[in-house]
Every structure is written in C-alpha cells, then in structure tokens.
Amino acid sequence: MSVVTYEIKDEIGIISVNYPPVNALSVHVRTGIKESIETARTDASRAVLIVCDGRTFIAGADITEFGKPPMSPSLPEVLATIEKSQKPVIAAMHGTALGGGLETALACHYRCALSSAMVGLPEVKLGLLPGGGGTQRVPRLTGVESALNMIISGNPVPAAQALEMGLVDRIFDDNLLQNAMAYAKELVDKNAPLRRVRDITIEPSSIPDGFFENYRTQTTKRYRGLLAPQNIISCVQAAVDLPMDEGLARERELFMELMTSTQSAALRHMFFAERTSAKVNGLPKDTPVKQILSVGIIGGGTMGGGIAMNFANAGIPVCILEVNEEALQRGMDIVAKNYGITVKKGKLSEKAAQSRKALITGTLDYNDLKDKDLIIEAVFENLELKKQIFAKLDSICKKGAILATNTSYQDVNQIAASTKRPEDVIGLHFFSPANVMRLLEVVRADKTSDEVLATAMALAKKIKKVPALSRVCYGFIGNRMLRFYGRESQLCLIEGSTPEQIDNAMQSFGMAMGPCAVGDLAGLDIGYKAREALTDEQKGEPKTYRIADTLVEMGRLGQKTGAGYYTYDPATRQRVSDPKVMEVVEKVAKDLGITRRKIDDQEIVNRLIFALINEGIKILEEGIAQRPSDIDVVYVFGYGFPAYVGGPMHYADTVGLKKVYDTICTFRDQHGEAYWKPAALLEKLARENKTLEQWAAQQA
C-alpha cells in the first residue's frame, strides 16, 4: 500500500498521507507529497488539499532516519515544490502537527485545522532548530517575539491559539475533510491569491532597539549551557535582516552546526534512551498485565503524598495509611498544598484539583487496604520496619495484589522474603518531589514475577513516569553511584576546595545544582542518620564524611535550619557563603593530617563525574542495569544530570573510554586503588577502543 495517495474530488486534488502511527516525514512520505504536487500542476484540479489518515497530521521527522545519510527528496525540496505551486495548496491539520509537519503546513498557501489540533516546533528538545524554514516562516506570520517564545520553548500550542497567532487561517470543530473541502472551494471561488509566507517581510524598524540582545541575555539565564536556543535567536534575527532565501541558507547553516554538535547527539541519545528504558530484556511481549484500579500507600509524608498525587492525576483512587490522625492530616495537608501550588501556577484548574484531591482518602486501619490492587510502602529507611509492614500486608491483602516498596537503599529480596508471596513484591523507587520528578526506578527482586514486572513498567507510563529497571544491590542504580560522587565532593572539599568552588564547577559542567547545595536542600541530617546505622568499616575513612557530620552536630542541617554548607536568607532561601564553614573544613583537615592544596575546577569535575562513570560501568558488569542508556535515564531524570551531556554513560563515550580509563588510572596512582580501581569492563573497552554503545549493541 502506498503511504501517499492522490485523487481529484469535486475539482479539489486531495493528497492523503497514511504512514502509521504518526505519519512521520519518511523519504516515502516526502516523495509521495512532492510527486502529488507535481501531478496536480497539470491536472484538472483547481486547488490541492493535504490531509492525513489516522490519529494525526504529520507529527514530525521519521526518527528511524536519525543519524543516517540524507535521502532525496529533502524536506526543503518538498516544501519548495509546495510553495511554488500555481494552484492553492491547503493543509488540513488534526492531532499534532509538529516539527516538519508544521513546516509542511507553513509552506502551503493556507492552513486549516480541527479545534482539537496542536501545532509546534519541538526540535529544540533534541538540541536542534527547525530546519525546514520554521525559523523564517513563523516570525513572518506571528511576529518575532511570539515566534521566539514558541520555537525556543518547543512546546505545542492549541489550534485556537495558533489561529490568534496567524499560524492557522480557519478552525473547525469536526468533519475535517468535509469542512476543509468546503474551505478549499471557497478559496477557489473567491480566486484567493497564492499567499506565500516567503513574500511577507518584517520591517527591521519595527523591532525595538536592543531586542535581540536582551532576549539573548534572558535566554542564556533560562537555558543555561544550551546551544540551540542561541542559534534559534540568530535564525529569527536573520528572518528580519535577510531576504527569505538568505535566511533559509542561514537556518540550514546553523541547523547543521547543531546537528553535528555533541549536545544534539546527547539529546537525541536521551530521546531514544527514554523510549528504550521501558523495555525489559527477555520479558515475553505477551506477558499479562494486571489491572491497577486502586492503590494503597503506607506513609503520608512528603514522599507518600507525592506518590499519591501521581495516581490521582491518572484517575486512580488512592488510600493513604498513617499511624495516627495527626500524621494523616499532615499528609493530606501536604497534598492539598501541592495542588494549590499547581493551581496558582496556572497549570491546573481549581475544579480539576478538587476532583483529583477527592480521589485521595486516608485511613488508620490496615484492613482498608485489603482489596487494593497495589500497595506502596513509603516509610523511612529501616529494613526491620519495612519487613514488619510487608509481613502484615501479606496477611491482609487480597491474592494477586502487588506489594511495592519505595525504598532507596534496602534489600528488596529481604523485604520480599518477609512474605509468603515474594513473586508479588517489587521495588518502586520514586524520586522527591514524587509528584514532579519523572524517574521511577523499578527494582526487580530475585523472585518478582514477569507479570508484576510487566505491570510496573506499564503503570509507569500510565502515571507519566520514565521507568528504569534495576536489579537488587545497595542503592540500586542511582544512589549506589551517588555515593561515589558524594565521596569525591567531600574529598575535594577537605583536600583544598570550598563549597562554592565545587558547586560552581559542577553547575558550569551542567548539573542543576552542585553537591553541597543539594546536601543543604535535602538536609545534611539524612546522610548523618544513615551513617549512624553503619559500622566504622562500612562508613569508610573519616575524611569522606567528617565535615558533614561536624556541620550536623553544630545544628547546621541545611536550608531547613537556615545553615548548612551555606547560610540562607529566611525569606528568599538565597544562599550565602559562610566563613565558619571553612573554619570547620580547615580544622577537620588539620585533625586528620591532611595538607590542603589548590584544586582546579577541571579536577573537581573529572573526579566527581568519572567516579559516577566508573561505578556505572561496574553496575553494567554485574547486570544490575540492563543497558548503559538506562543509567543515563536514571541520572538525567532523577539527579539533575544535564540532558545535553546525555547522562554519565553517554558522556563517557563522548569523552572517550580510553581517556576516562587513563584519567582514573592517574587518580588511582594519586589517591590509591581503594578509591580508584578502574572497572574491568572499562579497562577492556578502553584497550579495544570501543564505546559503551557498541558494547550494548553486542549484548542486545
């Protein structure tokens, strides 16, 4: 079956695209559209209508062509053919017209859409810019500032807004083809002009002095470290300053600059990584999935309340269990406060917030959980307490219910062993704030059934989480690696750095926050309490934690007490350097016999990031993670690792495993093998001059 068909009906040539699932702009679609326009040039049609079958208009590029040599005709060639047509070409949009799909519509002479349609240019999210004239045509239709806001955000806009902006000429509530045909006939009967967007000019004097400079400054602050937004500004400025063809040439030049950049490669890697992470190696595709129609959550604190919101947002009723009325009310208040913030930000209507809150109820009685399909335990990190809870759930919950733990560190196998149904036990590790963070670490215990695992992965999608599968080990993927990142931040601090230098170095690398600031945000007492449960041998050398412990013992717990590594303004939470902290650092260093030295920013970055990489590769060796890209998903969606770097595993490939290995060997020689023993897989791949991506392909 041809993916593009052409027929004449009532003097209107109809080009129909049918390339499921999203009518992506594959070479076959591009060829079909171009040939159909060329056919219409000399046939009996009076106008041409471009429509799509299925659930959407053209939703963008064909991702299967990413990274492959370009195939003719290119999108610009197709758009030029459309634009040059001597008969009116009308795009009729439904679903989502995104990227090249919207650019195809913009090359048409007129555009109509269903009122339910969405249009947008999301290329920036892949580290790219619209390469089919989007940066030149949108500002000519909408004005410069509206175009910049739309293209740089990458977010789609609804048809009604697109109509106001000038991107769409007519919208319909239903019967798209019928109404679009009538619209095309109306244009023909009125002898409507061939309205080519390229013929619109933007008067340079209409742009306020300093507009682009000011916009760049704002964009630099908002999209720190990203290249694509800056290139988009340059392209839109070209739409003002240059004729159309020169503007298109500038767009193509800056598009190719981004296409070959490490940033776009990283963002495209993350695009695929996010979609791959839900796939479980070896899990049969026909594995049954349980219906989750009701959920119970044990623990109504910040984490439990946040978890509850995920299910309520998906329309699934939730019952929160707490130990007493006071704790339960506190938890319900947290939920109400979170919804209130969302409403205040304009992201949710008051009516919707009320209906979601109504799905969350509370109880003090375990028996109220007996008929729930899924129970998630979200109490504090105490293994014995968790085992007691699961033993109780085992005696109460219905047969087939999934029993999940939200533990960050504890042994899920031991928790499962406290029940007579270990096959129904799984780890569902949400990240704080659970109603915001997209990552869900799914921890597969030794006896977790395929059905429970398949259900967990499907459920993650339903509650709009990105799942990453982990086997059982201390800290699973994310927190296990984080220990070594934290270790190196403490060692850099005691050996010669300051909290400010460490945080600034890591933020310059691209981390959302530096480790000292993160510690203050989370609360330094969390790590302190965790260490209290460890033996001296388990804690490691005092130099890796003594500074943090000293601050806690001084009452400096972080933001919640107004002081940690920094002091904080009570009103603004603005952090300020505190000389008292460096007094502590220098005293602890002296007490432990450490001579402080000058440490440069690059050493800080390499030590923290390469510690992550080395441990991540050990996790791959042990089969804790399925694939390197899953580790990248964990760190980008759970720990603020910059997506434009692609996660620690992708970054290792970008740097080169040989360089990573050699640097770790240098650190080993300087600091000892106890801290810096290269992973065996890293050494092997470095010697073979291979990448983790190549290794993963061999394992698949």
Question: Does residue 78 lie in a domain region?
Answer: yes
Residue type, 630: D
Residues 370 and 482 reside in one and the same domain: no
pLDDT at residue 205, rounded to an integer? 94
Question: Does residue 260 lie in a domain region?
Answer: no
pLDDT one-digit tens code per residue, 386-436: 999 999 999 999 999 999 999 999 999 999 999 999 999 999 999 989 999
- Look up the domain containing 237 and give its range: 4-243
**Per-residue CA distances from 35 to 30, 81, 481, 488 (Å):** 9, 9, 54, 60
Q: Which of 209, 227, 243 is the last residue of a domain?
A: 243
pLDDT one-digit tens code per residue, 290-342: 999 999 999 999 899 999 999 999 999 999 999 999 999 999 999 999 999 99
Tokens 């009076």 belong to 46
Residues 446 and 326 reside in one and the same domain: yes
Lookup: tokens for 74 = 């290119």
Residues 502 and 581 reside in one and the same domain: yes
Q: Which of 433, 457, 474 is the last residue of a domain?
A: 474
Lookup: tokens for 599 = 């440490």
Lookup: tokens for 259 = 């296409």
pLDDT one-digit tens code per residue, 665-674: 999 999 999 9
pLDDT one-digit tens code per residue, 92-150: 999 999 999 999 999 999 999 999 999 999 999 999 999 999 999 999 999 999 999 99
pLDDT cut 70: percent of the chain above it: 100
CA–CA gap between residue 336 and residue 623 (Å, rounded): 41
Q: Which of 434, 451, 474 is the last residue of a domain?
A: 474
Residues 646 and 594 reside in one and the same domain: yes
For residues 224-235, average pLDDT:
97
Residues 447 and 482 reside in one and the same domain: no
Residues 429 and 484 reside in one and the same domain: no
Question: Does residue 257 lie in a domain region?
Answer: no
For residues 604-617, average pLDDT:
98
Residues 428 and 505 reside in one and the same domain: no
Residues 461 and 493 reside in one and the same domain: no
Q: DSSP of 641-684, one letter per residue?
A: --TTTTHHHHHHHHH-HHHHHHHHHHHHHHH-TTT----HHHHH
> How do strand 318-321 and strand 157-158 relate by DSSP bridges?
unpaired
Cβ(58)–Cβ(101) below 8 Å: yes
Backbone angles phi, psi at 70, to 5 degrees: -65, 145
CA–CA gap between residue 559 and residue 570 (Å, rounded): 9
* Chain mean pLDDT for the chain: 96
pLDDT cut 90: percent of the chain above it: 94
Cβ(423)–Cβ(445) below 8 Å: no
Residues 125 and 227 reside in one and the same domain: yes
Q: Looking at 158-162, 329-333, 531-535, 652-656, which range is the least confident one?
A: 531-535
CATH of the domain at 700: 1.10.1040.50
**Per-residue CA distances from 213 to 138, 216, 510, 602, 676 (Å):** 20, 5, 23, 31, 46
Tokens 């001084």 belong to 554
Lookup: tokens for 652 = 């290792």
Residues 225 and 306 reside in one and the same domain: no
Question: Does residue 416 lie in a domain region?
Answer: yes
> How do strand 157-158 and strand 118-120 relate by DSSP bridges?
antiparallel
Backbone angles phi, psi at 188, to 5 degrees: -65, -45
CATH of the domain at 49: 3.90.226.10
CATH of the domain at 430: 3.40.50.720
Question: Does residue 262 lie in a domain region?
Answer: no
CA–CA gap between residue 20 and residue 64 (Å, rounded): 13
Question: Does residue 261 lie in a domain region?
Answer: no
pLDDT one-digit tens code per residue, 469-518: 999 999 999 999 999 999 999 999 999 999 999 999 999 999 989 999 99
pLDDT one-digit tens code per residue, 39-86: 999 999 999 999 999 999 999 988 778 778 889 999 999 999 999 999
pLDDT at residue 1, rounded to an integer? 62
List the one residue out of 259, 254, 210 whose CA is nearest residue 232.
254
Tokens 């949710």 belong to 348
pLDDT at residue 573, rounded to an integer? 85
Residue type, 447: K
pLDDT one-digit tens code per residue, 231-281: 999 999 999 999 999 999 999 999 999 999 999 999 999 999 999 999 999
Tokens 């350097």 belong to 577
Question: Does residue 276 lie in a domain region?
Answer: no
DSSP state, 381?
S
Tokens 């079909």 belong to 32
- Number of domains present in the structure of the chain: 3
pLDDT at residue 118, rounded to an integer? 98
pLDDT one-digit tens code per residue, 549-578: 999 999 999 999 999 999 998 888 899 999
Residues 452 and 513 reside in one and the same domain: no
Question: Does residue 340 lie in a domain region?
Answer: yes
Cβ(470)–Cβ(476) below 8 Å: yes
The answer to pTM > 0.95 is: no
Q: Taking phi first (over 0 means left), then psi (-120 to 50 degrees means alpha), and beta for anything else, what does residue 346 get?
A: left
Tokens 């807004």 belong to 161
Cβ(89)–Cβ(109) below 8 Å: yes
Residues annotated as part of the active site: 103, 123
Tokens 């619109």 belong to 200
CA–CA gap between residue 60 and residue 93 (Å, rounded): 13
Residues 371 and 308 reside in one and the same domain: yes
